[in-house]
């Protein structure tokens, strides 16, 4: 029994030693593992510290995490570093999220840019197509312009040829016209010579008659012809005259037409013309006049003479105008009739004489005043003043007639004056 207990104690010791050895071995292994991990942690801490130093030196010296980390002891450095790393990871996550959003925005912008690029390319293609179309149209228009220029050139050449032909034709017509005018002038000259001879014969016979009647021939004033009709344009109611610009003829001048060979007595109211003509075209030695008035059944012929008592190509006549006139024959005296008659004289280069004297060529009188009756009531001052004014006008009118007779100045009343200047209502 005792031996058995002794043997059991040895076995427990052995197991105790084994257990102690196993525990020591395990403790050694754990210590080695621990020190290995500590060494790895220290190396990681040193690496983190190095990284922190690098970060501090580069850009993060003001980072609050870094400041907190370096402010405490090295015992908590690893934990703080891990916390800082965590915060860094968080920041990196945020930055990565922002980067992702920016990447998405960039991708969207790139997509939009791609869309705009495609639109631009399409617009450029459309523009190029339009430019090509415009170029084609421009070439077509250029061809049309070239064709038109060619046509215009041809028309211009044709116009030049026509102008040359017309000028040549006009020269021929003018030459023929001049030849006809010369022929008419010759015929007119011959007719005038015959008419002058006949006129002298008529004048001599009339002088003889007047002498037999007891009146001197020199007391009968006559006017000479100012122009002669050399040709007619019947369908246009126009005539050609043998005087022109060289004879001081002007547009608008009017003449009374008389038969060839007529002796036009200035003061004879019966010596009326048969037509009135107005000058409408003037050349150097010829003119064209239109017939503005014509007596019934009167005919204007070649060789007829034209008279205007004011007009003379060689001298200026002087006229004394007196009285009131009724130029429109309405029965009422014109308010400015005297001024109108004066203007008719000056229109044909006549002169106005304010006094009747030896230098006066003609006396033009208005409507003859009526000799007034003396008012029964001579105390009526208004009627007496009107009577004296009317009497003075009547007496002045008669005195001028007497003075003109004494001076040998022809007297023309309104009708005779208007007739001898070819007056007509314009």
CATH of the domain at 386: 3.40.50.10190
Whether residue 404 sits in one domain with residue 324: yes
% of the chain surpassing 70 pLDDT: 71
Tell me, what's the pLDDT at 386?
87
In a domain, 303, yes or no: yes
Tell me, what's the pLDDT at 373?
83
- Which of 290, 308, 326 terminates a domain? The answer is 308
In a domain, 231, yes or no: yes
227 closest CA partner among 310, 308, 293:
308
CB 227 within 8 A of CB 306: yes
Residue 375 — pLDDT band, cuts 50, 70, 90?
confident
Higher pLDDT, 189 or 109: 109
In a domain, 24, yes or no: no
Whether residue 276 sits in one domain with residue 345: no
For the purposes of burial, counting CB atoms within 10 Å of the CB of 391, is it exposed (0-12), middle (13-18) or buried (19 or more)?
Answer: middle
Q: What residue numbers bound the domain in which 334 lies?
A: 311-417
Whether residue 329 sits in one domain with residue 296: no
Determine the length of the chain.
426
Tokens of 398: 């008669």
In a domain, 404, yes or no: yes
Residue 120 — pLDDT band, cuts 50, 70, 90?
confident
Whether residue 323 sits in one domain with residue 255: no
Q: Mind listing the pLDDT tens digit for each residue in 247-282? A: 989 898 999 999 988 888 877 777 788 999 999 999
**What's the CATH number where 299 sits?**
2.40.10.410
Instruction: Tell me the mean pLDDT in the region 221-238.
Output: 85
Per the structure, the count of domains in the chain is: 2
CB 305 within 8 A of CB 230: no
Tell me, what's the pLDDT at 263?
81
Residue 213 — pLDDT band, cuts 50, 70, 90?
very low
Instruction: Report whether pLDDT(199) > 70.
Output: no
- Which of 266, 281, 308 terminates a domain? The answer is 308
Whether residue 403 sits in one domain with residue 325: yes
Tell me, what's the pLDDT at 229?
94
- Which of 308, 338, 367 terminates a domain? The answer is 308
Whether residue 322 sits in one domain with residue 294: no
d(CA 260, CA 248): 23
Tell me, what's the pLDDT at 218?
44
229 φψ region: left (φ > 0), alpha (ψ -120 to 50), beta (else): beta
Instruction: Report whether pLDDT(49) > 80.
Output: no
Whether residue 321 sits in one domain with residue 292: no
Whether residue 299 sits in one domain with residue 264: yes
- Least confident residue range of 287-291, 317-321, 420-424: 420-424
- Least confident residue range of 196-200, 267-271, 300-304, 325-329: 196-200
Whether residue 280 sits in one domain with residue 237: yes
Tokens of 131: 């430019």
CB 414 within 8 A of CB 340: no
- Least confident residue range of 24-28, 149-153, 300-304, 414-418: 24-28
Residue 91 — pLDDT band, cuts 50, 70, 90?
confident
In a domain, 55, yes or no: no
In the numeric block, the tokens 């308010």 are attached to: 335
Return the half-sphere exposure (C-beta side, CA atoms, 13 A cut-off) of residue 280.
13
Higher pLDDT, 282 or 155: 282
At residue 71, φ and ψ (nearest 5 deg) are -80, -20
Computed over every residue of the chain, the mean pLDDT equals 78
Tell me, what's the pLDDT at 401?
94
d(CA 224, CA 298): 21
Instruction: Report whether pLDDT(119) > 60.
Output: yes
Q: Which residues of 354-367 are buried (b: 16+ CB within 10 A; e: fewer)?
A: eebeeebbbbbbbb
In a domain, 128, yes or no: no
Residue 216 — pLDDT band, cuts 50, 70, 90?
very low
Residue 124 — pLDDT band, cuts 50, 70, 90?
confident
Whether residue 397 sits in one domain with residue 315: yes
Residue 374 — pLDDT band, cuts 50, 70, 90?
confident
Whether residue 391 sits in one domain with residue 315: yes
Tokens of 212: 């037999």
Whether residue 277 sits in one domain with residue 328: no
Q: Mind listing the pLDDT tens digit for each residue in 320-373? A: 999 999 998 898 999 999 999 999 999 888 999 999 998 999 999 999 998 888
In a domain, 32, yes or no: no
Residue 169 — pLDDT band, cuts 50, 70, 90?
low
Tell me, what's the pLDDT at 239?
93
For 348-404, the DSSP string reads TT-EE-SS-STT--EEEE-SPPPPPPPPS-TT-HHHHHHHHHHHHHHHHHHHHHHHH
In a domain, 236, yes or no: yes
Distance of CA 62 to the CA centre of its chain: 82
């Amino acid at each position: 029994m005792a031996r058995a207990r002794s043997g059991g104690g040895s076995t427990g010791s052995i197991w105790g030693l084994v257990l102690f050895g196993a525990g020591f071995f395990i403790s050694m292994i754990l210590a080695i593992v621990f020190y290995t991990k500590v060494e790895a942690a220290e190396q990681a801490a040193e690496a983190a510290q190095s990284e922190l130093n690098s970060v501090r030196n580069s850009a993060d010296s003001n980072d609050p995490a870094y400041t907190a980390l370096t402010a405490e002891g090295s015992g908590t450095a690893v934990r703080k570093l891990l916390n800082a790393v965590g915060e860094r990871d968080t920041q990196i996550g945020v930055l990565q999220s922002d980067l992702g959003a920016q990447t998405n925005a960039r991708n969207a912008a790139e997509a939009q840019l791609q869309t705009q690029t495609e639109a631009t390319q399409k617009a450029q293609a459309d523009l190029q197509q339009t430019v090509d179309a415009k170029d084609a149209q421009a070439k077509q228009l250029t061809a049309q312009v070239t064709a038109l220029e060619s046509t215009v050139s041809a028309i211009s050449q044709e116009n030049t040829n026509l102008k040359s032909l017309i000028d040549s034709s006009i020269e021929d017509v003018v030459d023929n016209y001049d030849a006809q005018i010369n022929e008419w002038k010759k015929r007119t000259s011959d007719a005038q010579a015959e008419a002058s001879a006949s006129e002298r014969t008529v004048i001599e016979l009339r002088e003889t008659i007047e002498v037999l009647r007891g009146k001197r021939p020199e007391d009968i004033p006559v006017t000479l012809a100012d122009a002669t009709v050399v040709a007619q344009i019947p369908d246009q109611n126009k005539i050609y005259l043998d005087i022109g610009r060289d004879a001081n003829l002007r547009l608008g001048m009017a003449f009374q037409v008389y038969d060839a060979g007529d002796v036009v007595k200035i003061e004879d109211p019966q010596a009326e013309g048969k037509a009135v003509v107005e000058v409408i075209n003037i050349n150097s030695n010829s003119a064209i006049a239109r017939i503005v008035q014509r007596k019934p059944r009167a005919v204007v012929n070649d060789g007829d003479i034209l008279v205007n008592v004011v007009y003379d190509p060689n001298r200026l006549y002087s006229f004394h105008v007196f009285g009131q006139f009724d130029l429109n024959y309405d029965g009422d005296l014109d308010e400015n009739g005297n001024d109108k008659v004066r203007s008719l004289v000056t229109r044909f280069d006549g002169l106005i004489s304010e006094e009747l004297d030896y230098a006066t060529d003609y006396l033009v009188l208005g409507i003859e005043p009526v000799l007034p009756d003396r008012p029964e009531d001579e105390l009526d001052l208004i009627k007496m003043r009107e009577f004296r004014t009317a009497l003075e006008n009547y007496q002045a009118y008669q005195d001028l007639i007497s003075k003109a007779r004494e001076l040998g100045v022809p007297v023309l009343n309104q009708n005779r004056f208007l007739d001898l200047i070819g007056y007509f209502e314009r």
